[in-house]
Amino acid sequence: MKAIVMENYDPEFSRLVQPDDVVVAGANFGTGSSREQAATALLAAGVRLVVCESASETFKRNAVNNGLLVLESPRLVQWLRKRFQSPDAAPTIVSGLDAHVGLVAGKIQLTDSSGTSVYDGDLPRIGKAAQEIIVAGGLENWVRARMAAQ
């Protein structure tokens, strides 16, 4: 799945994405992706977090059920768009920034290669049930662990 992840968007994406990368996307991310493979392909590529301007509710549910966290942060997406936008920009941009995500606090900080903070912002907080499912690596693992505990 990693070899074909996001290839309809950018044929180079699978070559550029690295394990533990955070994918940042625009509006309506995942729209038209009613199958779980849209989320599991990103997971197969090592992506554990997608931050987007907005996302399909169906995609978000499939993502959580498979252990992929999808958070909406229009402010962050707009900031990155201003920073990296150019007429000849490739569809996929490797920013070189490090993301420090505090899910409990609902915060994200981006730092440059020297460790200097270049962005501080808020992220939506996720509910306890979704947290447990993400930590378990998906709904199936969460159910399996609960059944084993009984």
pLDDT, tens digit, for every residue of 101-119? Answer: 998 899 999 999 999 999 9
Task: Write out the two tokens for 63.
Answer: 């993502």
User: How far apart (Å, rounded) are the C-alpha atoms in residues 67 and 61?
Assistant: 10
3-state secondary structure of 52: strand
Q: Is the pLDDT reported for residue 1 higher than 90?
A: no
User: How far apart (Å, rounded) are the C-alpha atoms in residues 133 and 54?
Assistant: 21
User: How far apart (Å, rounded) are the C-alpha atoms in residues 79 and 6?
Assistant: 23
Map 109-120 to HEC letters: EEECCCCCEEEE
CB within 8 Å of 146: residues ≥ 6 apart: none
Q: What is the pLDDT of residues 13-70, one digit of tens each?
A: 999 999 999 999 999 999 987 788 999 999 999 999 999 999 999 999 999 999 999 9
3-state secondary structure of 12: coil
Beta strand 49-52 with 22-25: parallel, antiparallel or unpaired?
parallel
pTM: 0.92
Question: What does the pLDDT read at residue 150?
Answer: 87
